[in-house]
Structure 1
Amino acid sequence: MSDSGKANDLLAQIPKSDKPGLPPVHLWHPEFCGHIDMRIARDGTWFYMGTPIGRKPMVKLFSTILRRDGDDYVLVTPVEMVGIKVDDAPFVAVGVQVEGEGEAQILRFTTNVEDEVVAGAEHPLRVMLDEQTQEPAPYVHVRSNLEALIHRNVFYQLVELAVPREIDGRAWLGVWSAGEFFPIGLLPE
């Protein structure tokens, strides 16, 4: 079967539900059927057979059946599982709403596929530094073991909200959300 047929068959297998929410992909363990030519670029663009998927509802639907197994990303239905390539994180946090201030502050992130998460104990923020360039790559946990890369403009908003705090004898800049402090960068000594 061609990759095009596989993608259409995969969509047809997604159970219909009257209840809002995500399909229970963590409960589905069908046989692995191989990889298809689908890729999620670092900027959040989904590609199929080298062409961007321009239909946002289709991307959003595919995002609901995405799962990460170890280092592998798969699209999974009750009867089929196929591997896809993800360049960095499968989602991009494209917006943040700030409610309150100080330790009571709430940071509500929106992703490119319209997921909303409040940063906190269940949805932590983390920042990785590129070893060569020292450029930060910030992420927020979205669901299961899937993360969103925080868009540069959104990260700049976090930097503006950052406050100093000492952690293990070192001075950090970070942000509060839902009672949790998330370090985003060391302060120079």
Structure 2
Amino acid sequence: MNLKGLSEVKSKQPPVDTWSPPFCGDMNLLIKANGEWFHEGGKFTRAAMVTMFSRILWYEAGEYFLVTPVEKVRIQVEDAPFLVTGWEWIDTELGPTLEFHTHTEDVMRLGLDCDLWMATYKGEERPYISMRYGMKALVARPVFYGLVESLEQVQTLEGSGVGIKSAGKSYLLMQDA
């Protein structure tokens, strides 16, 4: 994707960070740890609906909300509200850059507008990237396995080990023993 394409994706984002509507209560909406969205127990079957709602998702004080200019409703998220489903290497002025694509049509460039780290969820080490407004996206297992060929020795402030270099930055994924 060229830079024009990236700016078009970002322009689809409503200015949620400028809205401050009153809290209106809880909504029976759950985002499962595998990235699936459910409303009142029924799974969302239209990807466009998930994408639309993801644009008004807000994270505040450890809780998730759907926000419009006039209302704010709390929803439940098991782990991460976004799921990275694709990736590709692109060339930027900072060198080879890893571009992630989410199931909600977000495009993030590692080292430019997101970071990558490992964290534990229910006893399992999982890879995540940072997203807008302090949210995160889980890197899907097939995507992570696809990145294995890109792993190399890296040195970061956290230590040295195996990781990924993107846009001139190093990300440690497994520290040397």
Provide TM-score, normalisation by structure 2: 0.86
The CA deviation at 1:178 is 1.1
Q: Partner residue of 2:46?
A: 55
Give a deviation string over 1:11-62, Cα, whole Å, max 9, x none: xxxxxxxx94211111111110110100001111110001101111111110
How far does residue 167 in structure 1 lie from its aligned partner after superposition?
3.9
Q: In the comparison of the two structures, how many residue pairs are matched?
A: 167
1:90, 1:170 → 2: CA distance?
29
Query: Quick one: which amino acid aligns to residue 42 of structure 1?
Result: A
SS at match of 2:131: strand
The corresponding residue for 2:143 is 154
* Larger radius of gyration between Structure 1 and Structure 2: 1
- Superposed displacement of residue 168, structure 1: 5.5
Q: Deviations over 1:42-101 (max 9, x none)?
A: 11111000110111111111000000011000000000000000010000001110135x
For 1:66, the equivalent position in structure 2 comes to 57
Matched AA of 1:59 = V
Find out whether 1:118 has 2:109 as its counterpart: yes
Task: Tell me how far apart the structure 2 counterparts of residues 170 and 117 of structure 1 sit (CA, whole Å).
Answer: 25
Answering whether residue 130 of structure 2 is matched by residue 136 of structure 1, we say no
- Equivalent position amino acid for 1:94 in 2: T
User: Partner of 2:155 in structure 1?
Assistant: 166
Q: TM-score, normalised by structure 1?
A: 0.81
Give 1:121 shift: 4.5
How far apart, in 2, do the equivalents of 1:118 and 1:137 lie?
19
What runs of 5+ residues in structure 2 fail to find an aligned partner? 1-9
**Secondary structure of residue in 2 paired with 1:174:** strand
Say whether 1:182 aligns with 2:171. Answer: yes
Unaligned runs of 5+ in 1: 1-18
Give the strand-richer structure, 1 or 2: 2
Could you tell me the percent identity over the aligned residues?
Answer: 36
CA 1:170–1:56 in structure 2 vs 1: closer, same or farther (change >3 Å)? closer
Q: Distance in 1 between matches of 2:62 and 2:168?
A: 30
Q: How far, CA to CA, are the matches of 2:159 and 2:70 in structure 1?
A: 51
Select 2:17's aligned residue among 26, 29, 43: 26
Specify the alignment match of 2:36 in structure 1. Answer: 45
Distance in 2 between residues matched to 1:56 and 1:168, nearest whole Å:
39
